[in-house]
Amino acid sequence: MAALNIKKGSTSHSAYDLRDSHSQVEASHTLAVLVDNEAGVLARVIGLFSGRGYNIDSLTVAEVDHKGHRSRITIVTRGTMSVIEQIKAQLGRIVPVHEVHDLTLEGRSVERELALFKVAGTGEKRVEALRLADIFRANVVDSTLESFVFEITGTPEKIDAFADLMRPLGLVDVARTGVAALSRGV
């Protein structure tokens, strides 16, 4: 194993601080976009991402103002700061878009996701699945003699952790809504 080439006394910080500060680091960002609720708006927003090769990790859409016919699109994407700024600028230029907020940069936010898990098993695996569901505060929304369907809400990390624990117990299928997010405070 080769030794690290670090100059003695070059830093009093962790070795993790030695990476190039000029390099562009990709990070996950949650964007909230307020749009007119009209035909084709979602296709235009998604087209912006696909046309430029950007990936969408999560996408949720719902009408939030029935009288004003406005919908909120919540998008989770990854990119360098320059890519995220470019995405926000391009979203803002689409005519039916009223507001674009980067919840990741604007302060603390609350993010939640809903998921359904179908777990098949008998005996001890069935009992263990119920025990873990109780720990994760998942609700049983359907039950047969061979399987359960659990409903769970939480952060994407919580949903991932629950899935990892259910796999060896007989996880059959998963349906996830995607992230819904709001900024905290007023």
In a domain, 10, yes or no: no
Range of the domain at 166: 109-183
CB distance 81 to 123 below 8 Å? no
Q: Among 102, 128, 150, where does a domain finish? A: 102
Q: How many domains does the chain have?
A: 2
Distances (CA, A) of 69 to 41, 45, 66: 12, 17, 5
- Mean pLDDT over all residues of the chain? 89
| CATH number where 79 lies | 3.30.70.260
* pLDDT (mean) for 154-158: 96
In a domain, 74, yes or no: yes
What whole-number distance in Å separates Cα of residue 102 and Cα of residue 11? Answer: 33
pLDDT at 120: 97
Query: Terminus-to-terminus CA distance in the chain, angstroms?
Result: 53
In a domain, 38, yes or no: yes
Residues 58 and 85 in one domain: yes
Residues 113 and 83 in one domain: no
Which comes out higher in pLDDT, residue 4 or 169?
169
Using a pLDDT cut of 90, give the percent of the chain over it. Answer: 81
Give residues with Cβ within 8 angstroms of 46, minimum separation 6. 56, 59
What whole-number distance in Å separates Cα of residue 27 and Cα of residue 165? Answer: 26
Continuous H helices in the chain: 41-51, 81-93, 124-135, 156-170
* pLDDT (mean) for 11-25: 54
In a domain, 17, yes or no: no
Residues 46 and 78 in one domain: yes
What is the model's pTM? 0.77
pLDDT at 95: 86
Confidence of residue 63 (pLDDT cuts 50, 70, 90): very high
Residues 73 and 125 in one domain: no
Question: Measured in whole angstroms, how far is the alpha carbon of residue 104 from the centre of its chain?
Answer: 11
Using a pLDDT cut of 70, give the percent of the chain over it. Answer: 88
Residues 97 and 118 in one domain: no
* pLDDT (mean) for 30-56: 93
Q: Among 102, 131, 156, where does a domain finish? A: 102
Taking only the tens place, the pLDDT of each residue in 64-98 is 999 999 999 999 999 999 999 999 999 999 989 99
| CATH number where 142 lies | 3.30.70.1150
In a domain, 163, yes or no: yes
pLDDT at 3: 53
Q: Is 94 exposed, middle or buried (0-12, 13-18, 19+ CB in 10 A)?
A: middle
Confidence of residue 173 (pLDDT cuts 50, 70, 90): very high
pLDDT at 186: 75
pLDDT at 2: 53
In a domain, 20, yes or no: no
In a domain, 173, yes or no: yes
